[in-house]
Amino acid sequence: MDVSNLEAAFERITVTDENDDQLVTTTTYHKSKTSLSTAVSISGLASSNSAANRMKLPLQKLATVNSSKIVSANITKVTLPSQAAQHCSSDENPSHRRTLTESAIYAQPSGPKQWHLGMFEIGKPLGKGKFGRVYLAKERSTGFVCALKVLHKSELQQGGVEKQVRREIEIQSHLAHPNVLRLFGYFHDAKRIFLILEFAAKGELYKHLRREQRFPEWKAAQYIAQMAAALKYLHKKHVMHRDIKPENILVGIHGEIKISDFGWSVHAPNNRRNTMCGTLDYLPPEMLSGGGKNFYSEKVDLWSLGVLMYEFLVGEAPFEDTQVITYRKITRGEYTVPKFVSAEAKDLIKRLLVLDPEKRITLEDIEKHPWIVKHCQKGERAYNRASGGEPHSSSERDS
Ligand code: AMP
């Protein structure tokens, strides 16, 4: 599906601008100087059907350390890239960065961009979360295709999640990586908040996994390599995600994965946090033991990556059971890997699902692991990251 097909698929629907004239401020933010502690998800709270059988820990369990210190956002420029830049495979490549900057300049009027609903043509609904809907949208002046998430202020208020939503926006708007869903900016009117998100054309990874039951090893390896690249980027920025699971991963137009849902993520300037959140199946032992009172680090994401890898290859999470048994299995690190999983894959899972966070394999070593190297050979890995294409050799598929 290319952008022109997307455009063809556009149908006008009923999102009206409730105050067209009212100025709507917005966009990307200056980096907050203060630390962010916990965050509740806009989408993590979503009543997604696909996630219905996943247990969520009650929100009350969230600590709100330093929440009063959160500085409200300073509004600056927005960098909504042009369509040409939508296909950029990596912001980290300087030439791509140049392209992005050039297109942003081209697409941007001088001075801060102030968005309002009238600037977007609204297309088909893409999905529904607890606090609102997500629509395909097109920015009229540039034709840029994006996803517009519409959140109702009253519902956020009722849910007591306004501050957390602000934190989610704050974190996500600072991130730019091919495997992290971009948040280009936001605006609001009297009743709603609109998030301008990168459009993930192939939808939720969770649905792909349920459809395919489990992924062949070559595909799982490429996804895990992309996850490791994204996590490396996030951890370098002192952001731990803390809610890695298939429901929080979207798939881009080229089949590349995009981590989304930064509701549980935190900026971790001290590298250590002690709040309790997440989905039980994916929670690391250090977040469970001591009722969440223990300190933990960004290594929590490595454990969850191990759970994710297992679920990709087996079709279910390694500790899936009743809540009590799951809890016990996680704290003891008890799981079995079916025989159809290759020895190399088993080895990487074993190195990720290590009870002692400090002994887990590092993100750098994941990239060098034989299972990853085997399925993501040089050149091919880059190709697949950019295009989501399949391996050249069919012998590589060993599902
Ligand atoms: P959320 O409220 O974020 O859980 O979004 C609800 C649903 O909308 C998701 O489950 C996706 O199917 C869809 N969706 C959300 N964001 C996007 C996006 N950026 N691109 C494509 N689909 C999306």
- How do residues 253-302 score in pLDDT, each as one tens digit? 999 999 987 766 655 443 333 444 445 888 888 887 754 455 778 899 99
Q: What is the largest CA-CA distance in the chain?
A: 63
Find out whether the beta carbon of 46 lies less than 6 Å from any atom of ligand 1.
Answer: yes
Are 208 and 198 in contact, with CB atoms under 8 Å apart?
no
Closest to 338 in 3D by CA, of 174, 165, 211, 217: 217
Instruction: Give the Cβ contact number of residue 361 at 10 Å.
Output: 19
Q: What percent of the chain has pLDDT over 70?
A: 61
110: CA distance to ligand 1 center in Å? 31
In angstroms, how far is CA 268 from the centroid of its own chain?
17
Of all atoms in ligand 1, which is nearest to the CA of residue 199? 20
pLDDT number for residue 82: 33
Contacts of 248 (CB under 8 A, 6+ apart): 43, 44, 241, 259, 260, 261
> Is 243 known to be catalytic?
yes
The structure's pTM equals: 0.71
Pair of tokens at residue 155: 């519902």
Q: Give 102-161 pLDDT, tens digit per residue.
A: 333 234 333 457 899 999 999 999 998 777 899 999 999 999 999 999 999 998 899 888
The SS3 of residue 175 is coil
Are 209 and 245 in contact, with CB atoms under 8 Å apart?
no
Nearest-5° Cα angle at 350, 345 to 354: 150
Q: Residue 343 class from Cβ within 10 Å (0-12 exposed, 13-18 middle, 19+ buried)? A: exposed
Are 56 and 12 in contact, with CB atoms under 8 Å apart?
no
Q: Give 158-174 pLDDT, tens digit per residue.
A: 988 888 888 889 889 99
Residue from 133, 250, 254 whose mutation best tests the ligand 1 pocket (most atoms within 8 A of CB)? 250
CA distance 244 to 300: 9
Of all atoms in ligand 1, which is nearest to the CA of residue 44? 4
Are 187 and 114 in contact, with CB atoms under 8 Å apart?
yes
pLDDT exceeds 50 at position 371: yes
Find out whether the beta carbon of 205 lies less than 6 Å from any atom of ligand 1.
Answer: no
